[in-house]
Chain A
Amino acid sequence: MTDSIFAYAGQILRVDLSSGKTWTEPFEAEDRRKWIGGTGLGAKILWKEVPPEAGWDHPENRLVMATGPLAGLPVWGTGGLTVVTRGALTNGATNTQANGFFGANLKCCGFDAIVIQGQSPEWVYLHVHSDGVELRDASSLLGKDTWQTQQALEEVTALNGHNLSVYSIGPAGENLVRFAAIQGDYGHVASKNGCGAVMGKKKLKAVAIERGKKGIAAAHPRALYAAADEIAHNLKTDASTRGLYLFGTLGGVRNLYGMGALPIRNYTTNVWPEDVDTKKWEGKNLREGFDHRGHQCSACGMHHCHMLVIGSGRHKGEVVDEPEYEGWSGAGWAIGATEPSEVAWLNDRLDRACVDVNEFGWLCGWVMECQQKGYLSDKDLGFRLEWGDVEGANRLLQMIYRREGLGDLLAEGVKRAAEKLGGEAADCAIYTEIGNTPRGHDHRSRWEEMLDTCTGSGGTLDTAPPVQPTEFGLPARIEPQDPEAVPKQVGVLRGRRTFEDSLGACAFTTRVSMHVLCRSVEAATGWDFRMEEAIRNGRRTAALLRAFNLRCGIGPELEKPSKRYCSTPVNGPVAGVSISDHWEKMLDIWYETVGYDRKTGRPTPETLRSLELEEVIESLWGAEVKT
């Protein structure tokens, strides 16, 4: 490592849990520019190191915990953690993000990423500090939830606050629940595609990273401050992000309800029950009734992440992390729970047991519906679970993470459980054929996201909602159910989110002009870095993740929603409007836009060449298509 490395630590920490060995390798300049970090770096490692026969639970699977060039710098929301692995739900690529202080702390310890391979014979946790790395006995941590785990490690190390960042699995990950997540720093969750199960399979309970003692240099520090100020200003003042700045994602409930995208009771309705006090569910009102306290990620000025002290009800006085919109929906609306304090409490249980809140919401909502409709008896389940029963949902959660009774099947995730149960029950389940589930939305009114969820390669959306689409030559707004504009938009924007996910930054604080974002990268790294390169970079990574999935046998035949997922809403703003009639056509347009082959699902050789992925061409298309 030389002094001239800007924005990076320049080293990758490698850990082989089978042998207990740790070592470092350089994160070379060429790779830094080509893959940036985060998802890009993870994709490169997956492609290079995880062969098709090494499934999610194979020792050769890699668990990449990476950060990126902006982490630990004064740009808002840059404590970034990206988890890339072969996940337990799809058995394909996983790209999932969390924040807190992981990335900032890791870089100050001298690493840009941790790549974990092998399987430990005994439960361990990884302790990283400036002077070294140790695998330590984790037997005393077993069975602890994620918050307890962090507390226990704070005691062991005598560190508190952000002097120690801990990402861990809860009992769900220990018991290989297929939608187990990795949670850290009290409330930040890398939740998708069962990354927690991968960690559990490796018998790695936690990764604890001290706030290291090394420095991160920026190439142009004053320019970086200026870019950071501009990003902050945009977030505060732009109409598209101001609500986010003030209330995080809390505004989502009302906003999405208005467009028919709030998922209520497992997609059985789009109208909220009459007895619900809908005023309570306005963004700012969701902060009422709680003593809410800022709990921001590294260098962040958003009024987003908070801790709550529950102010009333059965759980009065308990400290929980404020749910994201996804929590309000997954632990709330999707299962018919409508009392905020109860939803906040359940959301926290989910974070602690450590499962993906969305998958749980679809699973629990589905079980509730199956019970209501008689597809699943009280005996099958062991008790009666009604819509909105939060205590019952918590009981279900316990059954799942302990793999008790029906919980053992439910722990396999919505798709597998539904297929096992079959019949009419299966028809009610929300999932994609790849094996994942949507985030906490009713995508029947948000076609872009259903398309994105089904075609995504990372276990969730690849492209996500548009940010300043006019920078891409797209209209500022499209009709959410326009079967032509939607796939076009999703296709054109492809790469942007993947690029953001490579930066070590938060997807909310990067919701600003690409030009400003690129200026921050330029100031941090010293590269002459423009939007064109950023997009190409993101598309390169996205294409590589798709190539990885194709190599794992996950092809376009699986790119479709389950029956319920793409059903026609019976009421609400988009009642009677169906995506199914347009699905194939939408895929056609999307494939053409992104430059992938419609039949095989592969990025075309031309696309791969334009993304400087020549080495992938031969692998996907065979030797004859080299030129």
Chain B
Amino acid sequence: MARHVIIGAGTAGWNAITTLRELDKGGSEIILVSEEAPYSRMVLPYYLAQSIGESHVYTASSSRLAELKVETRIGQRAEQIDSAAKKLVLEGGGEIEYDNLLIATGSSPLKAPVPGADGDNVHSFWTLSQAQTVTAGLRKEARVAVIGAGFISFTILNALVNRGAILTVVELESRILPRMVDETGATIVEKWLAERGVVVRTATKLSAIEDKNGAKLLKFENGPDLEADLVIMATGIRPNIEWTRSSGIEINSGILVDDHCRTNIPNIFAAGDIAEGPDIVTGRKAVHAIEPTAMLHGRIAAANMAGDDTAFAGSLLMNIVDVLDLEIASFGAWDDPEAEAFEAVQPDRPAFRKLLFRGGRVVGAVILGKTRDIWTTNDVGMLKGLVYTGVDLSDWKDHLRHNPFDVKRAFLAAGTAGQLLSKTVLGRPSVPAGEIAISS
């Protein structure tokens, strides 16, 4: 019986487990090594908002893992891989032999490298324990400074506002969401936030965090000081690759994987935030560090670990977040400087569209609008469909140049739905994780 060792219980690891069990129905050994119990990072903002309880955060309980015949080493850290001996060495001793190894140890948050960044009431919001700390410590009308105005920080803005926090968002770059929208889009979002009482300071570099009368005093290289009760650092993440350096696995920004999520060592796979795999639009390898890619990697890696020969065309960079009922989503090469960009704003409301064309295909897109408006169209998913399939839209290009909002008719007329029916991931009906049959 093959033994699959999976390191990391985040989205990639968990999807690998369920996929393995979908395929082999319990016919292999799975050992899960993870510092933390399996939970979903994606739902932590809802935990912070107190719209769900802590139990809702976990993707699998210990009983569920047992049902799936998963042996667990929760609370343990992988220290080293001995690929020649096909052994995983755990911190503090202990070894596990494997036939296949999946590295899915994710990423860790970075804090701005300033004095005081490690002080009290300065937190990252990344892990469950950090979320617990912030959630417990957040008082109504607390003055909260969020350092960084990227996707991560935006996922928690709603929760902070709904909890009654008085918010200031500080961004080093000249605009917010620098890796999700362009200048035009960012301007709309900044206006929206300002109208709703969220203070945004862009092009502002934090220089120090001091203590003052029990509160925090934020100093900047430019601009006035800011007093806050709580500081949340959302200044980026980096893959947890250091521990793998001695293993012989090829590393660039992340662990390099092929279209099977395989590393240079055939029985070692990597998935999720740590993996640097093919991007479907550019064809180049990239670390996406997003949930959908982690899911995709996990499933692809698992299929190949189970003995299938399953390639994927690459993962698609995409993000969606809403801030106080303004929806923002971007897909693919939304900032490709080589592409032809068609964009338009609506005169009377916050609504922005951007389509990036290379030749006859859409390689990236930005959609931005009021949540109530956005969901009266099929456009969000269709933009993904257009980028994902790369369907030929040559006939529609002039029309979309003129009106980039009208993607639906282009999507339909180009037969995108028909293409999608055959462009699946594993090519087998999906099974809800709760219904995976395990043979006894």
Known contacts A158-B344, A158-B346; is-contact A130 B372 (Cβ 8 Å): yes
Name the one of B346, B376, B409 contacting A213, with C-beta atoms under 8 angstroms.
B376
**Does B259 sit at the interface, judged by CB under 8 A?**
no
**Does B348 sit at the interface, judged by CB under 8 A?**
yes
**Does B405 sit at the interface, judged by CB under 8 A?**
yes
Most buried by A among B349, B351, B376, B405: B376
Name the one of B370, B376, B403 contacting A158, with C-beta atoms under 8 angstroms.
B403
**Does B36 sit at the interface, judged by CB under 8 A?**
no
Known contacts A213-B372, A213-B376; is-contact A158 B406 (Cβ 8 Å): yes
- Give A61 to B409 CA distance when docked, in angstroms: 43
**Does A240 sit at the interface, judged by CB under 8 A?**
no
Kindly list chain B residues whose C-beta atoms are within 8 Å of the C-beta of A160: 406, 409
A and B contact pairs by CB, cutoff 8 A, 9 listed: A130-B372, A131-B349, A134-B348, A156-B347, A157-B346, A158-B351, A158-B403, A213-B372, A213-B376
B-contact 0/1 string along A102-123, CB 8 Å cutoff: 0000000000000000000000
**Does A3 sit at the interface, judged by CB under 8 A?**
no
- Give A549 to B376 CA distance when docked, in angstroms: 45
Q: Are B372 and A158 in contact (CB under 8 A)?
A: no
- Give A204 to B376 CA distance when docked, in angstroms: 29
Would you list the 3 A-B pairs with minimal beta carbon distance, nearest first? A158-B405, A213-B372, A158-B403
- Give A131 to B370 CA distance when docked, in angstroms: 11
Kindly list chain B residues whose C-beta atoms are within 8 Å of the C-beta of A127: 348
- Give A213 to B409 CA distance when docked, in angstroms: 22
Q: How far is the CB of A467 from chain B (nearest CB, A)?
A: 38
**Does A624 sit at the interface, judged by CB under 8 A?**
no
Kindly list chain B residues whose C-beta atoms are within 8 Å of the C-beta of A157: 346
Most buried by B among A156, A157, A211: A157
Kindly list chain B residues whose C-beta atoms are within 8 Å of the C-beta of A158: 344, 346, 351, 403, 405-406
Q: How far is the CB of A285 from chain B (nearest CB, A)?
A: 33
Chain B interface mostly: loop
Q: Are A155 and B348 in contact (CB under 8 A)?
A: no
Mark out the residues of chain A between 145 and 167 whose CB falls within 8 Å of any chain B CB in the assembled complex: 155-158, 160, 163
Q: How far is the CB of A157 from chain B (nearest CB, A)?
A: 8
Name the residue of chain B whose CB is nearest to the CB of A127.
B348
Mark out the residues of chain B between 349 and 368 whose CB falls within 8 Å of any chain A CB in the assembled complex: 349, 351
- Give A155 to B376 CA distance when docked, in angstroms: 18
Q: How far is the CB of A133 from chain B (nearest CB, A)?
A: 11
- Give A163 to B344 CA distance when docked, in angstroms: 19
Q: How far is the CB of A213 from chain B (nearest CB, A)?
A: 6
Residue numbers of B with Cβ under 8 A of A are 344, 346-349, 351, 370, 372, 376, 403, 405-406, 409
Kindly list chain A residues whose C-beta atoms are within 8 Å of the C-beta of B370: 131
Q: How far is the CB of B380 from chain A (nearest CB, A)?
A: 15
- Chain A contact-residue range equals 10 to 19
Name the residue of chain A whose CB is nearest to the CB of B408.
A160
Name the residue of chain B whose CB is nearest to the CB of A132.
B348
B-contact 0/1 string along A191-226, CB 8 Å cutoff: 000000000000000000001010000000000000
- Give A254 to B3 CA distance when docked, in angstroms: 84
Name the residue of chain B whose CB is nearest to the CB of A130.
B372
- Give A51 to B409 CA distance when docked, in angstroms: 50
- Give A357 to B376 CA distance when docked, in angstroms: 37
Kindly list chain B residues whose C-beta atoms are within 8 Å of the C-beta of A163: 376
Q: How far is the CB of B64 from chain A (nearest CB, A)?
A: 39
Kindly list chain A residues whose C-beta atoms are within 8 Å of the C-beta of B409: 160
Q: How far is the CB of A149 from chain B (nearest CB, A)?
A: 18
Q: How far is the CB of B223 from chain A (nearest CB, A)?
A: 34
Q: How far is the CB of B384 from chain A (nearest CB, A)?
A: 20
Q: How far is the CB of A25 from chain B (nearest CB, A)?
A: 24
- Give A160 to B347 CA distance when docked, in angstroms: 17
Q: How far is the CB of A12 from chain B (nearest CB, A)?
A: 22
Name the residue of chain A whose CB is nearest to the CB of B375.
A213
Q: Are B403 and A155 in contact (CB under 8 A)?
A: yes
9 more CB-based (< 8 A) A-B contacts, given A134-B348, A158-B351, A213-B376: A130-B372, A155-B403, A156-B347, A158-B344, A158-B346, A158-B405, A160-B406, A160-B409, A211-B376
Name the residue of chain B whose CB is nearest to the CB of A213.
B372
Kindly list chain A residues whose C-beta atoms are within 8 Å of the C-beta of B346: 157-158
Name the residue of chain B whose CB is nearest to the CB of A159.
B405
Q: How far is the CB of B107 from chain A (nearest CB, A)?
A: 38
Kindly list chain B residues whose C-beta atoms are within 8 Å of the C-beta of A213: 372, 376
Mark out the residues of chain A between 449 and 475 whose CB falls within 8 Å of any chain B CB in the assembled complex: none
Kindly list chain B residues whose C-beta atoms are within 8 Å of the C-beta of A130: 372
Kindly list chain A residues whose C-beta atoms are within 8 Å of the C-beta of B403: 155, 158
Kindly list chain A residues whose C-beta atoms are within 8 Å of the C-beta of B376: 163, 211, 213
Q: How far is the CB of B71 from chain A (nearest CB, A)?
A: 51
Most buried by A among B348, B349, B351, B409: B348
Name the residue of chain A whose CB is nearest to the CB of B405.
A158
Name the residue of chain B whose CB is nearest to the CB of A157.
B346
Q: How far is the CB of A127 from chain B (nearest CB, A)?
A: 7
Q: How far is the CB of B403 from chain A (nearest CB, A)?
A: 6
Q: How far is the CB of A482 from chain B (nearest CB, A)?
A: 55
B-contact 0/1 string along A317-353, CB 8 Å cutoff: 0000000000000000000000000000000000000
- Give A158 to B405 CA distance when docked, in angstroms: 6
Kindly list chain A residues whose C-beta atoms are within 8 Å of the C-beta of B344: 158
Q: How far is the CB of A364 from chain B (nearest CB, A)?
A: 39
- Give A156 to B409 CA distance when docked, in angstroms: 17
Name the residue of chain A whose CB is nearest to the CB of B348.
A134
- Give A544 to B316 CA distance when docked, in angstroms: 66
Mark out the residues of chain A between 546 and 589 whose CB falls within 8 Å of any chain B CB in the assembled complex: none
- Give A155 to B402 CA distance when docked, in angstroms: 9
Name the residue of chain B whose CB is nearest to the CB of A211.
B376
Kindly list chain A residues whose C-beta atoms are within 8 Å of the C-beta of B372: 130-131, 213
- Give A487 to B262 CA distance when docked, in angstroms: 90
Name the residue of chain B whose CB is nearest to the CB of A160.
B406
- Give A163 to B379 CA distance when docked, in angstroms: 14
Name the residue of chain A whose CB is nearest to the CB of B351.
A158
Name the residue of chain A whose CB is nearest to the CB of B404.
A158
B-contact 0/1 string along A1-26, CB 8 Å cutoff: 00000000000000000000000000
Kindly list chain B residues whose C-beta atoms are within 8 Å of the C-beta of A131: 349, 370, 372
Q: How far is the CB of A464 from chain B (nearest CB, A)?
A: 38
- Give A134 to B376 CA distance when docked, in angstroms: 21
B-contact 0/1 string along A132-150, CB 8 Å cutoff: 0010000000000000000
- Give A158 to B346 CA distance when docked, in angstroms: 8
Kindly list chain B residues whose C-beta atoms are within 8 Å of the C-beta of A134: 348
- Give A163 to B348 CA distance when docked, in angstroms: 16
- Give A25 to B376 CA distance when docked, in angstroms: 28
Q: How far is the CB of A274 from chain B (nearest CB, A)?
A: 49
Kindly list chain A residues whose C-beta atoms are within 8 Å of the C-beta of B351: 158
Kindly list chain B residues whose C-beta atoms are within 8 Å of the C-beta of A156: 347
Name the residue of chain A whose CB is nearest to the CB of B349.
A131
Q: How far is the CB of A212 from chain B (nearest CB, A)?
A: 10
- Give A508 to B3 CA distance when docked, in angstroms: 73
Q: How far is the CB of A161 from chain B (nearest CB, A)?
A: 9
Kindly list chain A residues whose C-beta atoms are within 8 Å of the C-beta of B406: 158, 160
- Give A213 to B405 CA distance when docked, in angstroms: 19
- Give A157 to B403 CA distance when docked, in angstroms: 10
- Give A155 to B399 CA distance when docked, in angstroms: 11
- Give A127 to B370 CA distance when docked, in angstroms: 18
- Give A211 to B377 CA distance when docked, in angstroms: 12
Q: How far is the CB of B365 from chain A (nearest CB, A)?
A: 15
- Give A156 to B370 CA distance when docked, in angstroms: 18
Kindly list chain B residues whose C-beta atoms are within 8 Å of the C-beta of A211: 376
Name the residue of chain A whose CB is nearest to the CB of B403.
A158
Q: How far is the CB of A322 from chain B (nearest CB, A)?
A: 24
Kindly list chain A residues whose C-beta atoms are within 8 Å of the C-beta of B347: 156
- Give A524 to B149 CA distance when docked, in angstroms: 49
